Structure formats: structure tokens, C-alpha cells
Chains A and B, each alone.
Chain A
Amino acid sequence: MTNRLRVLRAERRWSQAALAGRLSVSRQTVNAIENEKYDPSLPLAFKLGEVFGLSIEEIFQPNGAAPPAA
């Protein structure tokens, strides 16, 4: 899975810790997701979508797939 988490976070000028606080997870978890070392659970993916105001498909894409057009 690839994701746009780093870009979305940078757009909002949030630190990893700030995003982790909003998601109630550790900063390490945010870092692992951003670096694509770890795929989040479905509840956490939904929470990410809720935090960024986007759908899951707009944040996560299968490897090689282009993000859906806005």
C-alpha cells in the first residue's frame, strides 16, 4: 500500500506527534505508516480519513495505483 499521509500532513503543517495525538496513537505508528512499513487497521484508516476530511481511497492506494481524481 502507498499513502499520501506525509503530503497531507505537511499541507496542514502538522507534526507527526500532533497527528498521532489526533489519532490517539504513538508517533512511531504515524512514522511507520508514512514510511509504508506498516499498514494501519481499518478503524485507524477510517480515523485518518476523518481527521483529514478525506475518504480512505484518497489517502491509501494499492501499490502502483494512481490516487482517485478529486
Chain B
Amino acid sequence: MTNTPSEAPAEWPYWSLFLFGHFGGASAGSRRLNVEIYTSLAARGGSRVGRIRSAAGFNARRREESDAFLSGTNVNEAVDPAPTEPLGREGVTAVGRCRSSESMRRIDSFLDSSPNGRKTLSCDPRDFHHGLLTLLVGAMLAAPWLGTVLPGGKLFLIPGTALAVGWILFAFRRYLAQLDELSLRIQYEAIAFSFGMTLLLGVTAASASSVTHLTVHPGWIVMAEPLRGLGLVLAARKYR
């Protein structure tokens, strides 16, 4: 059965919304939304100079002023603490590397401050530019689906998908390149968990389909991403 321009393939809305929302909208610069992979879109791989690598996002604790006081029961925090991280829990960029640009200042003025008064927006203008690029890729990915409504949109199906997937892989690889060894290990364990669980759940659902009469949609592979998130939580807790 072929799709006519007025007949949208059923899976495209889900794929487009998932990928567009996942990698596009949240990567436009806000650190508050940039949990984990979103930072990949802002990460600068290759150079490790002057940077403090992320400690797997949610497992890293932000240093506060109160860390200056030495606890009587442990010596985790000495009297000479490092300066408060300027960019929150992710704390990726060293202070000396922060630069500003007119476009960032404009965006910054529209964003709320975090509860402790610090701006949650990254000071690196490349975050913003990468976010815009990602939005563009997301839009291209959505184009085939839109193209089923708008004539001629199917021309973007293959290049749009290839560009989006390629960009996501490139950004993720760059994100991994700037992690330290423990964070990298946590990421690898999460990927292994995700792979195993997706396979296990997929095979189980497929095997049960003869009994339950439920079919496994190819879009099931999208489940790998939330499962990777679950794997990250479990792996990060293990090393806490």
C-alpha cells in the first residue's frame, strides 16, 4: 500500500515528535533542561584544557558556599573548597572559558533565574548555535511527515533522517569524548543496560504476540532511550 500525499504514515508523528522534542527543543541552551545527552549538543570534544568534566548529570552535586565549613564527622570537605561551579550541576565549562555574545545576551534576558538566583543558561554561545542547528535538524526530520500534508515533502525523507541521525550520533560521541573515566563507565553501563532491556522486552513482547495478539511496532526501539535513562540512574547510584 502506498501513501498518497493526504495519507500520513502512522508512525511518523511519533518519531518526529519524539526526536524533535528530545533533541531539539530541550537543547536550545537551557541548562535546566539540558540533562545528560542534551549537553552533548553543547559539549566541545577534543580539548580537555580548562574544563571540568560532567559527573553524569544528576549524580553530581553542586558545590555551594556552605561547603566551606568542615564537618566534624568527616573530612569530605576541607576548609579550602573549590569555587562554586558557575553553571550548576553539569558544571562543564571552567569560568575562564565563558564567553558571551549578543545572541546569548538576548536569549538570556528571556529566561528565568534558578531558585538560588543564578542564571541557568550556559554562557557559551556555542550552546545556543548548536541548539539552533538541532532545531533545524528536528524540523528537517519532521518535514517528511509534514510533507504528507504538504505536497513534495517526501523528498526530505531520506536526507532529513540521515542528517538527524548522523547529527545525534556525532553529538553523542562528542559528549562522551569530554567525560572523565567514571562518567564514561556510567554511560557505557547505561547503554549496555538499555541494549539488553530493549532486546529482552522486545523479544518477550514478540514471543507473546501469538498469545496476546499484540504486534510489536518497529517504533519500539524508541524505548531504548528511556531505558538508557533508567540505566544511567542505576549506574550512577552504584558509584555514589
Interface residues of A (CB under 8 A from B): 6, 9-10, 13-18, 20-21, 24-29, 31-32, 34, 37-38, 40-41, 44
Whether the pair B52, A9 counts as a contact (CB closer than 8 A) is: no
> In the complex, A44→B79 CA distance in Å?
25
CB–CB A44/B55 < 8 A: no
A31 to B67, CA, bound (A): 15
B78: Cβ under 8 A from any A Cβ: yes
Give the docked Cα–Cα distance between A18 and B81 (Å).
6
B: contact size bracket: 20 to 34
Contact of B82 among A10, A21, A38 (CB under 8 A): A21
Residue of A nearest to B81 (CB): A15
Would A18 and B82 be within 8 Å (CB), given that A27-B55, A28-B60, A29-B55 are in contact?
A: yes
Cβ of A27: which chain B residues have Cβ within 8 Å of it? 55, 60-61, 63
A29 close to B180 (CB less than 8 A) = yes
Tell me, in angstroms, the Cα distance from A38 to B180 when the chains sit together: 13
Give 8 CB contacts A-B under 8 Å. A9-B78, A21-B82, A24-B52, A26-B52, A26-B60, A28-B61, A29-B181, A32-B182
